[in-house]
Structure 1
Amino acid sequence: MSDNTSVQVSRTINAPADKVFEHLTLPANHVELDGSGFIRSVAHGDRIQAVGDVFTMNMEGDHMGGEYQTDNHVTAYGRNAVVGWATAPAGTEPPGWTWVWELEGEGTGATRVTLTYDWSKVTDKELLKKVSFPLVEESKLEDSLAKLSEALS
């Protein structure tokens, strides 16, 4: 599902919520989960443990003219339920887009995972002209969920 300021996809993963959460809270795992193809490696990133944590990723994409880094400021954290962050060019404050992974146990060792990419809080008009949101399409988010399913199977 997508609207004018967000894209959201869901999938049932055949793993319990605690296992999914453990996988998602280790930034290094997002290199293999990245459906967009932008993430290259982790520059700095211990396991996410609380809102306020920050991890840094090495990225690459034509939209930024090649290699760059992002700081990811954790904005949502609930054990076995949700983890999310606001992304910013390294060394800057987040300009308004977030990634949120929500987990809902389905009782049989499976978890419904919903991934939301939201840019509704981007207010910088120059940035909105420069970046054509959504930078990551719905199909790429679906790819991330497929990779998560594969990693945990």
Structure 2
Amino acid sequence: MHTMDQENVSATLTVAASAEEVFAVLADPTTHASIDGTGWVRKAVDQAPLTEVGQVFRMDMYHANHPSGAYRVANQVQMLDAPRVIGWLTGEEKEDGQLVLGGWLWRYDLAPLGPSETEVTLSYDWSAVPPSIREYIRFPPFGPEHLSDSLRHLAELAQTSEAD
């Protein structure tokens, strides 16, 4: 199921895994390339689990329409309440180490439906993107099916992890 309005899009899926297991997959940056529904995320640069608001983690990316093709993003955790919600803003880290966030937020909300079933909603919100970025990036930069694909990938990882 997708919902979309002027400044955000979301998708929801029921996952056959506990909220704790789903959250553990999301809090592990090394799983993000496997979860990604766009195919743009290549690998985690920072591999430490996400444990606190303000934490920064970087990802190597690739997009054919990006001026460099390959590029790196820096994400800053904005919300983290295990095992209910996790979210981050994406941006870039300048050469001087300054973090410049673009204004788009990835957020996962987890609602336990039982001991081994969780409703997961993935939201992408670009309402805080400044006009200077909107001049050269169309939002959202992907179709809503990419959120559904991400949730299916997450479900596969969480269900496999829970079976171990």
Q: What corresponds to 1:126 in structure 2?
A: 132
Where in structure 1 are there 5+ consecutive unaligned residues?
none
Q: Distance in 2 between matches of 1:63 and 1:34?
A: 17
- 1:63 paired to 2:70: no
- Take 1:64 and 1:90, find their aligned partners in 2: how far apart are those partners? 16
Identity %: 33
CA distance in 2, matches of 1:62, 1:98: 22
Displacement of 1:113 in angstroms is 0.3
Q: Contact 1:44 / 1:55 at 8 angstroms: preserved in 2?
A: yes
Structure 1's 62 and 90: CA in aligned 2 closer, same or farther, altered over 3 A?
farther
> Paired residues, what number?
152
1:105 aligned partner: 112
Post-superposition offset of 1:108: 4.4
Take 1:36 and 1:81, find their aligned partners in 2: how far apart are those partners?
A: 24
Match for residue 137 of structure 1? 143
Deviation by residue 1:41-100 (Cα, 9 ceiling, x = unmatched): 111231000101110000011332200000000001001000000000233311210100
How far apart, CA to CA, are the structure 1 residues paired with 2:47 and 2:139?
Answer: 26
RMSD: 1.1
Divergent runs of 4+, >3 A: none
- Measure the CA separation in 2 of the matches of 1:21 and 1:127: 31
Matched with 1:82 is 85
Contact 1:13–1:113, Cα closer than 8 Å, also in 2: yes
Normalized against structure 2, the TM-score is what?
0.89
**Secondary structure at 1:51 match in 2:** coil
**SS of structure 1 residue aligned to 2:54:** coil
- Corresponding residue for residue 14 of structure 1: 16
Distance 1:29 1:78 in 2: 19
Structure 1 stretch 89-98 or stretch 68-77: which is displaced more?
A: 89-98
Q: Which amino acid aligns with 1:29?
A: T
Counterpart check, 1:94 vs 2:96 = no
TM-score, L = length of structure 1? 0.95
- Offset at residue 136 of structure 1 (A): 2.6
- Between the aligned partners of 2:122 and 2:153, the Cα distance in structure 1 is 13
